[in-house]
A and B are shown apart, each in its own frame.
Chain A
Amino acid sequence: MSAQVPQKSVLGRRLLLGAPLAVLALVGGGWALMLRRMAGGNFDPHSLPSQLIGKKVPDFSLPGLDGGVAMTGAELQNPGRPMLVNFFASWCVPCLEDAPMLNKLAKNGLPIWGITYKDKQADTQRFLSQNGNPYARIAVDQPGRVAIDWGVYGVPETYLIDAAGLVHWRFAGALTQRVVDEDLTPLLRRIGA
């Protein structure tokens, strides 16, 4: 068949029929770039930027776990040193994955305060005894009202607060080594921990 086709026109046709490939290269390149920026945290098509970033922690008051010390917004509005606030629950599997990383961060001296979200206190205690307790303080948000004020849309969710009580960073989902290395650690260094 090919013998009937002049060589030059075959080249021209090849270039023409290569057009779909060029389109693919363009779209694929764009996607690759998006994925790279997504991995670097510079691109998030789902971004629902936290309303709290750059603002003070909202006012609230919650009872402590099993009658422990209560937690208030005022304490977090001027903590004196950078710290994390972590919303979690015993019924959430990603929180299980989150636990080892939080334990590691706590061991390295970063204070973490926990707020349980719609969880039974006995379940929380069992969760902590099984997976370790990285929290310096734990408050109970049984109705989930405070979580709404913070803009939490799922557990686990972690907030970074600086010494003056400003929220610098919010992360939804289980913390991974990568997120800690690329996002949290540089931020902590910048705000002076």
Chain B
Amino acid sequence: MIPELGHFAIALAVVIALSQAIISIWGAHRGDARFIAAAPALALSQAMAVGFAFLALVWSGIVSDFSVINVAEYSSARTPLLYKITGAWGNHEGSILLWCLILSFCGAAVAVFGRNLPSALRARVIGVLGLVSCGFLLFTLTVSDPLGRIWPPPSEGQGVNPLLQDPGLAFHPPILYSGYVGFAVAFAFAVASLLEGRVDAAWGRWVRPWTLGAWCLLTSGIALGSWWSYYELGWGGYWFWDPVENASLLPWLTGTALLHSAIVVEKREALKIWSVLLAITTFSLSLAGTFMVRSGLLNSVHAFANDPTRGVFILALLGLVIGGSLLLFAWRAPVLQPAGLFAPLSREGALVLNNILLCSIMAVVLAGTMYPPFVQLIFDQQISVGPPFFISTVVPLAAPLMAAMGLGPVLSWKRAAVAPALLRLWWAALASLIVVLVGFYGRLGWAAVGFGAALWMVLSALAEIVERSQLFRQPIGTAWARLRGLPRASYGAAVAHAGLGVAVAGMVGMTLASHSIVLLHPGDTTKVGNYDWRLVSLTSGAGSDFTARIATLAVTDARTGQAIATMYPARRTFPLQQQTTTDVAIRTNGFRDLYAALGDERDGGIVLRIHVNPLAPWIWFGALIMAFGGALSLSDRRLRIGAPVRLARRRAADMKVAAE
């Protein structure tokens, strides 16, 4: 009964979403106040309907209703409660429903938090979100039913994929999807502004918090996914340039670019057309990323079973959403006039450089990801593009980005000079140079340059705060007052930039990792890094739904013989799912990870994959700092909803428009 009610709720949501789209957009177009006023209520009721359907799916999972195909295939009576719940989105149909849920929540969020928007603009934004919602709910309803039944029901379900039985991954999809889908709001703002034919400073100010929120979530989502693949897959790496990973990186790159270009729109009313295009592109890449990977077109270990009928539906939907918005863009964007002019060397110029480099990185990653299927289509040849391509193309583009990142924030708007800016950063530059030289002396090679760049990013972010507060120049009391008076957005930007520096340090550290794959018998010792690894014993164990082989490894310092750690890497076999997972043992001291994963047993011994990864935890810690910086910036009162300053400004803007 509950699944049928959920099914009905989806059908209801389709109808509400459609009316939300038509009534809001038509109402805004005609200037009909009653229709415009209906938009928020429709967005809220759509969110309630989709929310009910999603709860119905979660409920079916909790009570183990195996007559629901999804529950039968991805859950079982023995599955722990947490995974019975998270199993709801651990499969194609459920994850698409989650996607729709978040999208409907975005519409509701605009309805609730967008009270200070001009009501016609808000109605258009809600209408565009409703239109997108309608398409994907229709997809759920027709070809991707999450609540479909099977008769007769199996007596026991297949169980959750053991790889997904992990708290980190259980919450990865909701966070990642919130990031993906969050960009829908920026997209809706872009389309709404094209419909209105007006993009101004206020647009930049309204779009920024939504973009920032989505960016924080996407950053956390990507970091969580990368962390999961590090400790769960047991391959010793953190990023494999797999199509699914790339699909999440692409919107992150353009979203980051949008974040920066929206500042220029807000402060200088320049880059308007470009920002609108970025908003459309970012959401398009999110859409393409979520759906094309899942249609099975890209060869990935993460891909679901492919189903061409579904793929065709998705492609048509993507064509309508992306094609429609780009057509509108080509038609309406040319009449948007740039207002603010600036010299190439200025804060705006630096942000343009940031955009160019980020979009170039996006282009090469996109090309590398799409190349194999297109080569197969045109030349009927199977090839694969691997990490060497991505590393050799992305790093040369990322290097100038990192260099400019430090310089940009200290440049002045409109026109700037490099020399005074560099002068303010001399100590950051000097310290980074020293690190590079020391690194070269220590035979680190290119990694030395990487560490120098990482330090440069952290110090130049610090320098910007010092510069703005005039610390060391003014009396300490004045400087303190200035520090306190700095807007949170400035701190947020500095923290996020420094966070990237920390993450880059971690990535560079990983290039210096030592690793080896060895066959050890109990009692054997091998040396990896500066450590001796001794296999003490090999034992068996069991959990609620798996059996395990557990190795005991004693790690000692190779020079002093001092005991460092005892580690227990394991291998779990899940009989129900016929699957084996590795349970990686990781010991960290914050500066290096000891990493051991168990392989197959052979001739009484066992294959061990052992890594010593310098600075590995910094990668995710840095990403967390970045997301925190974004959140800090989001809490800035200038962006906060209903701040009196903004109202006053908006009135002024409205009056200006009226005067024109």
With a cutoff of 8 Å between Cβ atoms, the chain B residues found around residue A92 in the complex are 158
B273 CB within 8 Å of chain A: yes
B323-A25 in contact (CB<8A): yes
Q: Which of A13-21, A51-59, A106-114, A183-191 contacts B (4 or more CB under 8 A)?
A: A13-21
Contact A18 B197 (CB under 8 A): no
Chain B 251-276 residues near chain A, CB threshold 8 A: 273
Query: Of the candidates B69, B311, B336, which one forms a contact with A38 in the assembled complex, judged by CB atoms under 8 Å apart?
Result: B311
Are B306 and A93 in contact (CB-based, < 8 A)?
A: no
Q: What residue of chain B has the Cβ atom nearest to residue A38's Cβ?
A: B308
B576 near A: Cβ within 8 Å?
yes
Contacts of B292 in A (CB 8 A): 31
Contact partner, A93, options B73, B152, B308, B331, Cβ 8 Å: B73
Residues of A within 8 A of B659 (CB): none
B297 & A31 in contact (Cβ 8 Å cutoff):
yes
A13-B334, A93-B69 known; A35-B311 Cβ under 8 A = yes
Is residue A173 within 8 Å, beta carbon to beta carbon, of the partner chain? yes
Min CB gap A74→B, angstroms:
29
Pick out which of these stretches binds chain B: A2-10, A79-87, A133-141: A2-10
* Cα of A152 to Cα of B324 in the assembled complex, Å: 44
Instruction: Name B294-309 residues within 8 Å CB distance of A.
Output: 295-299, 303, 305-306, 308-309
In A20-49, the 8 Å CB interface with B consists of 20-21, 24-25, 27-28, 30-39, 43, 45-47
Chain B residues closer than 8 Å to A150, beta-carbon distance: none
Q: Which residues of A contact B382 (CB under 8 A)?
A: 47
**Contact in complex: B197, A93 (CB < 8 Å):** no
In the bound complex, do residue A21 and residue B372 qualify as a contact, i.e. CB atoms below 8 Å apart? no
Are A39 and B308 closer than 8 Å at their CB atoms?
yes
B150, A96: Cβ atoms closer than 8 Å: yes
Of all chain B residues, the one with the shortest Cβ separation from A13 is B334
- Chain A residue at minimal CB-CB distance from B312: A35
B542 on interface, CB distance cutoff 8 Å = no
Q: In the complex the two chains form, is B376's CB within 8 Å of A21's CB? A: no
* Residue contact A5 to B335, C-beta cutoff 8 Å: yes
Cβ–Cβ contact A37 & B326, under 8 A = no
A93, B154: Cβ atoms closer than 8 Å: yes
Question: Is the beta-carbon distance between A118 and B73 smaller than 8 angstroms?
Answer: no
Question: Closest residue to A45 on the B side, CB-wise?
Answer: B299
- Chain B's interface size range is 35 or more
Contact across chains for B309 and A39 when beta carbons are under 8 A apart: yes
Across the interface, name the chain A residue whose C-beta is closest to B157.
Answer: A93
Which residues of chain B in 158-208 are interfacial with respect to chain A, using CB atoms and an 8 Å cutoff? 158, 197-198
Assess whether A130 is interfacial by the CB under 8 Å rule: yes
Q: Determine if B306 and A46 form an interchain contact, defined as CB atoms under 8 angstroms apart.
A: yes
**How many whole Å from A180's CB to the nearest CB in chain B?**
16
> Given known contacts A1-B198, A93-B154, A96-B154, is B376 in contact with A45 (CB within 8 Å)?
yes
A30 & B315 in contact (Cβ 8 Å cutoff): no
Q: Which residues of A contact B372 (CB under 8 A)?
A: 45
Query: How many of A's residues come within 8 Å of B, CB to CB?
Result: 39
- Least CB distance from B108 to A in Å reads 29
B315-350 at interface with A (beta carbon < 8 Å): 315, 318-319, 322-323, 326-327, 329-331, 333-337
**A interface secondary structure, majority:** helix
Which chain A residues lie closer than 8 Å to B73 at the CB level? 93
A residues near B311, Cβ cutoff 8 Å:
35, 38
Query: Is A91 in the interface zone, CB < 8 Å from B?
Result: yes
Please, which residue of chain A has its CB at the minimum distance from the CB of B374? A30
Within the complex, which residue of A28, A45, A46 is in contact with B318, where a contact is CB–CB below 8 Å? A28
User: Which of B315, B337, B576, B578 contacts A32, CB < 8 Å?
Assistant: B315
User: Which residues of chain A come closer than 8 Å to B329, judged between CB atoms?
Assistant: 17, 20-21
Give Cα A84–Cα B276 distance, bound, in whole angstroms.
57
Which parts of B371-406 form the interface with A (CB within 8 Å)?
372-374, 376-377, 382
Cβ-closest chain B residue relative to A20:
B326
**B interface: dominant SS:** helix
Q: Does B323 contact A38, Cβ atoms closer than 8 Å?
A: no
Tell me, yes or no, whether B218 is within 8 Å of chain A by CB: no
B residues in contact with A45, CB < 8 Å: 296-299, 372-373, 376
* CA A181 to CA B214, docked complex, whole Å: 46
Contact call B330/A17, Cβ cutoff below 8 A: yes
Given known pairs A93-B69, A93-B73, the reply for A24 and B158 (CB within 8 Å) is: no
Contact yes or no, B334 A31, CB < 8 A: no
CA distance A46 to B243 in the complex (A): 13
Which residues from chain B contact A93 at a C-beta distance below 8 Å?
Answer: 69, 72-73, 150, 154, 158
Contact call A2/B335, Cβ cutoff below 8 A: yes
C-alpha gap A9/B335 in the complex (Å): 10
Tell whether, in the assembled complex, residue B335 and residue A34 are in contact, meaning their CB atoms are under 8 Å apart. no
Q: Cβ of B284: which chain A residues have Cβ within 8 Å of it?
A: 24
Assembled-state Cα–Cα distance A13/B335 (Å): 9
Report if B613 contacts A (CB, 8 A).
no
Measured CA separation A37–B327 after assembly (Å) = 28
The answer to whether B303 touches A46 (Cβ under 8 A) is yes
**Residues in chain A near residue B305, CB distance under 8 A:** 173
- Residue of A whose beta carbon sits closest to that of B74: A93
Chain A residues whose C-beta falls within 8 Å of the C-beta of B326 in the assembled complex: 18, 20-21, 24
Interface positions of B from 53 to 93, Cβ below 8 Å from A = 69, 72-73
Residues of A within 8 A of B322 (CB): 24
Residues of chain B with a CB closer than 8 A to A37's CB? 377
Q: Nearest Cβ distance between residue A177 and chain B, in whole angstroms?
A: 12
Query: Are the CB atoms of B323 and A46 closer together than 8 Å?
Result: no
Most chain B CB atoms below 10 A, which of A5, A17, A96: A17
In the complex, A28 Cα to B337 Cα: how many Å? Answer: 30
Q: Are B334 and A14 in contact (CB under 8 A)?
A: yes
Q: What are the residues of chain B within 8 A of A30 when measuring CB–CB?
A: 373-374, 377
Instruction: Decide if B334 touches A91 in the complex (CB within 8 Å).
Output: no
Say how far B447's CB is from chain A's closest CB, in angstroms.
Answer: 36
A residues less than 8 Å from B312 (CB atoms) = 32, 35, 39
Complex Cα distance, B334 from A172, in Å, reads 51
A25 to B327, CA, bound (A): 11
Q: Which residue of chain A has the shortest Cβ distance to B284 in the bound complex?
A: A24
Contact string against A for B residues 542-581, beta-carbon threshold 8 Å, 1 for contact and 0 otherwise: 0000000000000000000000000000000000101000
- The distance from the CB of B221 to the nearest CB of chain A, in whole angstroms, is 25
B308–A35 touching, CB < 8 Å: yes
A91 touches B335 (CB 8 A): no
Docked-complex contact B323 and A28, CB < 8 angstroms:
yes
CB distance from A152 to the nearest CB of B (A): 12
B370 engages A27 (CB within 8 Å): yes
Asked whether A1 and B315 contact (CB < 8 A) given A14-B330, A38-B296, the answer is: no
Nearest A residue to B318, CB-CB? A28
Q: Is B281 at the interface (CB under 8 A from chain A)?
A: yes
* Interchain CB contact under 8 A, B277 and A20: yes
Roughly how many angstroms separate A35 CA and B299 CA in the complex, as a whole number? Answer: 14
Determine whether the beta carbon of A18 is less than 8 Å from that of B376.
no
Residues of B within 8 A of A4 (CB): 337
In the assembled complex, the Cα of A121 lies from the Cα of B315 at a distance in Å of 44
A43 to B298, CA, bound (A): 12
Contacts of B309 in A (CB 8 A): 39
Nearest residue, chain A, Cβ from B295? A35
Q: A14 contacts which of B72, B308, B331 (Cβ < 8 Å)?
A: B331
Q: A9-B334, A35-B315 are in contact. List 12 more A-B contacts (CB 8 A).
A: A17-B329, A20-B280, A31-B315, A32-B312, A34-B377, A35-B311, A45-B296, A45-B299, A91-B578, A93-B69, A93-B158, A118-B578
Mind listing 21 A-B residue pairs with CB under 8 Å?
A1-B198, A1-B335, A2-B197, A9-B334, A16-B334, A17-B333, A20-B281, A20-B326, A20-B329, A24-B322, A30-B374, A35-B315, A37-B377, A45-B297, A45-B372, A45-B376, A46-B299, A47-B382, A91-B578, A93-B73, A118-B578
Across the A-B interface, give the 7 residue pairs with the lowest CB-CB distance, nearest first.
Answer: A13-B334, A18-B330, A39-B308, A2-B335, A21-B326, A35-B311, A45-B299
